[in-house]
Amino acid sequence: MNKKIDRFALVTRNNPKVTTMDVTSPFTVGNGEIAFTADVTGLQTCYEHYLKAHMPLCTQSQWGWHTTPVSRAKHSYSPNEVYKTEYRYINRKVFYPVERMEGNEEVYDWLRVNPHRQNLIRVALVEIPYRMEDVDKNHPYKEIAPGRISGIDQQLHMETGILDSRFLVDDHAFRVETACAGSEDAFAFGVAGKGITERKFAILLAFPYGSPDISASDWENAGAHTTDYDPATKTFCCYLDLDSYYVTLNGDVRVKQVAPHAFLLVPGYGQRPSALTFTLTFDYMVPVQNPGDYPTVMNKSVAFWKQFWEETGVIDFSQCSDERARELERRVVLSEYLMMVNSSGSMPPQETGLTCNSWYGKFHLEMHFWHEAWLPLFGRSDLLEKSLTWYKRRLPQARDNAAKNGFQGARWPKMVGPSGVDSPSVIAPLLIWQQPHIIYMLELAYRCHWAKADAPYAFLSDYYPLVKETADFMADYANKDHKGLYELNSPLIPVQECHKPEITKNPAFEVEYWVFGLQIAIEWAERLHKEIPAVWKDVAEQMIPAPISEGRYIAHSAAPDTFENFAKDHPSMLMTYGVIRTGRIDPEIMEATLDKVLECWDEKQLWGWDFAVMAMTAVLLGKRDLAIDLLLKDTCKNRYVVSGNNRQESRDDLPLYLPGNGSLLLAMALMCAGYDSSKETLPGFPDDGKWKVRFEGIEKLPY
């Protein structure tokens, strides 16, 4: 019998550590619903220094959104007010908010950036006069310049969720511990050192106005919002236009307001403590009545992460002798931590999770799969289902999105906020590959958990409306050609977004994904003994084949020059074999396609998740060694910094890219557990004696 993996040893040997001010690798603590990103002080002391390096230090949540009013007289624009671009679709006209038209620019721009996720607070170490009573406009607090910080020794303990930061400011030694409560929107901060206990330094709490930019913060517009402090309840009440939230302080501290939105904390009047310890608890409804104290929040963090690592699938590479194994293990363990913190909450995550803003803080539904499809395969369907409930709440909006252009069922948008309303964009309204995602993710949740549970019928019945209405749209969106085959017609934008929507037709991945998604929908109807719509079967059985040119799969049927003129962005043709399996793809043609991609594709324009796609395709083609090389390929968008984040080095707006981390974990599930019809053990690793990989709690992919 195989010895169980020592999960504590696995996690702790991969705990990230920095001894210099590495601005690419701030560490984040959180629980999927709220997160705090810290610099080397364990706080957000060097805020401007990190921001100049395009790595904001934010505190973000699933509920923390802000809407900038249009004017004093008008709060918001309606999607009906944006001008639409007219397209010809088969024999009728359709309209999408694509072009930014003259006379309507303000509406277009406003809808694109509102609502936006906001930064809730900055928590920083600052220097003050010896007596806090002396702090005033003539003797204000002093920000600590990065050059004054030395002796850095910071480690993130992923087994407990506690960030331990040790450093010097000049000759003042500090130790800061930072953690997030496991199931509550609360953080604990413990700041030790004579500098803080002798009140030469203080903790700054600063509250910004909302902003759609990468920092989610507007520090200049102080008059646009209000921050009140209630000393009786120790609650900061933050009002931003029609949005509001509350932050409750717990700890033996003195509080002094030093600016309209800035407050200083120092130890209380009692006996001089050994450290300043306090908690901050956040809520968007009402102030929290009984916030947890410092020991309680710290203990909840420890319990939360102990449970996470005990219940989540893990992979142990410690017995491997291949030199690549150590780095692969590091990336896998850190990715599990980061995806829990950033991408396992009650809404689909944005590309940068809860760390900072990307695309105005909105989430992209075509990326939801790459963030969270790994979860049920690693035994955590419960975490995936937290965000799947968002689709149930937004089904009416998806129905409206389909109906406005005459389609049946529910059409899921691309770039959205909590309301589920599509954003104007040259790409978003025309993208379609996010449609089957909800069906596939639900099938993963069912297969990996609910099929083994006592009441799978309840799960199937609860989510069947999402499956049915999504499948209804997909079937209605496909049209029969003169040969009796179904097609996906323009205008549309495929996975590889560099193609013109007016001429794009039958993109390879979307064609196969339509078949795959409808096949699953049919299975769901059969499990529930429901009547199967004839059109579902018709489309699934008679969809046009994925397009081929010169013996290779191409981007879409109007792009025979894929490898000459479009060898950039996502090589999405590979996804038809590596990510899904319909039984319609020829492996020899796919092998020729992969070889051509590796020969001519511009690797600098690949995205983080493309490397997992290529690796998964290589695995299915029996190219195991190549799969590992692809996962670890050293190029600008496949770098995993000390924190474990997949940094897109060629883009200042993406200092981290979580779909890269999520896709790595999805590839690991395939490489370890395989797929339904696979017979081999560890089908993704070379059988050369160097890859003695052990794994626990990981399921096969359903193909």
Return d(Cα 331, Cα 314) in angstroms, integer: 12
* 276 neighbors 175 (Cβ within 8 angstroms): no
Task: Provide the pLDDT for residue 703.
Answer: 84
- Domains of the chain, start order: 7-65+119-308 (2.70.98)
Quick: pLDDT tens for 222-247: 999 999 999 999 999 999 999 999 99
Task: Provide the pLDDT for residue 441.
Answer: 98
How sure is the predictor about 269, in pLDDT bands with cuts at 50, 70 and 90? confident
Token readout for 50 is 């990190």
Quick: pLDDT tens for 77-92: 999 999 999 999 999 9
Contacts of 309 (CB under 8 A, 6+ apart): 7, 8, 11, 158, 159
- Mean pLDDT, the chain, whole residue set: 96
Quick: pLDDT tens for 469-491: 999 999 999 999 989 999 999 99
CA distances from residue 401 to 107, 347, 413, 660 in whole angstroms, order as listed: 19, 19, 8, 29
Residue for token digits 């999105």?
401
Task: Provide the pLDDT for residue 131.
Answer: 79
Return d(Cα 308, Cα 158) in angstroms, integer: 10
Phi, psi (rounded to 5 degrees) for 126: -135, 160
Pairing of the two strands 85-89 and 162-169: unpaired
State the SS3 of 515-583.
HHHHHHHHHHHHHCCCCCCHHHHHHHHHECCCCEECCEECCCCCCCCHHHHCCCCCCHHHHHHHCCCCC
CA distances from residue 130 to 56, 87, 149, 195 in whole angstroms, order as listed: 31, 68, 20, 10
Return d(Cα 516, Cα 513) in angstroms, integer: 5
How sure is the predictor about 20, in pLDDT bands with cuts at 50, 70 and 90? very high
Give SS3 for 399. Answer: helix
Radius of gyration over alpha carbons of the chain, in Å? 26
Return d(Cα 303, Cα 283) in angstroms, integer: 22
Task: Provide the pLDDT for residue 272.
Answer: 63
60 or 271: which leads in pLDDT: 60
Q: Is the pTM of this model over 0.85?
A: yes
Task: Provide the pLDDT for residue 328.
Answer: 98
How sure is the predictor about 1, in pLDDT bands with cuts at 50, 70 and 90? very low
Q: What is the mean pLDDT of residues 114-137?
A: 91
Percent of the chain surpassing pLDDT 70: 99
Return d(Cα 180, Cα 188) in angstroms, integer: 6
* Residue 284: pLDDT over 70: yes
* Residue 140: pLDDT over 90: no
Residues in the chain: 703
Return d(Cα 213, Cα 1) in angstroms, integer: 54
Contacts of 408 (CB under 8 A, 6+ apart): 402, 472, 473, 475, 476
Following DSSP, what letter does each residue of 94-157 receive, concatenated?
A: EEES-S--TT-HHHHHHHHH-SEE----EEEEEE--SSGGG-SSSS--EEPPGGGEEEEEEEEE
Contacts of 208 (CB under 8 A, 6+ apart): 118, 119, 122, 216, 217, 218, 219, 261
Which residues lie across from 701 on neighbouring strands? Answer: 675
Q: What is the mean pLDDT of residues 140-169?
A: 97
Quick: pLDDT tens for 509-554: 999 999 999 999 999 999 999 999 999 999 999 999 999 999 999 9
Q: What is the mean pLDDT of residues 326-348?
A: 98
Which residues lie across from 396 on neighbouring strands? Answer: none
Worst-scoring range by mean pLDDT, 19-23, 128-132, 528-532, 550-554?
128-132
